[in-house]
Copies of this chain bind each other. A is one copy, B any other.
Amino acid sequence: MDDWIEQLKWDEQELIPAIVQDKKTNRIVMFAWMNRESLQQTQKTGHAVYWSRSRKKLWAKGEESGNTQIIKSIRSDCDQDVLLLTIEQVGGIACHTGRESCFFNKLNNEQQWEVTDKVLKDPKEMYSK
């Protein structure tokens, strides 16, 4: 495996968390996990590939929906145990609910989670293949 990948600190499950920021809007659109192979593929192909902890397999972002993520930069933090990807979001939708960002719940003054983002595309259309 590449040196720069081995220099990262992988957790006990051999994973690393990845924060995903839209380069154009600066919004955080997603949070996902990577294993070494997904990170290597991400860097090589220039498109985000994650590790699905629930399905236990590689997950090329947008493989079903078409909403791929083009990699603009890869950063790591002071402890080398968290990644920050800046991306260009194809289709402008990062969330499986059909919203721009996964972070659409905002805590309001009544201490309730309030949905702040519109659904831009019906998930049934996104995953109809």
Contact = CB atoms under 8 A, between A and B. Distances in A.
This chain: copies in complex: 2
Contact of A78 (B26, B74, B95, B111): B95
A102 interface: yes
A85 B99 CA distance: 19
A3 B111 contact: yes
Interface size class of A (residues with CB under 8 A): 35 or more
A112 interface: yes
A7 interface: yes
Contacts of A7: 113
B78 A43 contact: no
Interface string A64-77: 00000000011111
Given A26-B26, A76-B113, A95-B78, A107 B4 contact: yes
Interface of A: 2-4, 7, 17, 19, 21, 26, 28, 30-31, 43, 73-80, 82, 84, 95-97, 99, 102-107, 111-113
11 contacts: A2-B111, A4-B107, A19-B28, A28-B84, A43-B107, A74-B106, A75-B106, A77-B102, A77-B104, A77-B105, A78-B95
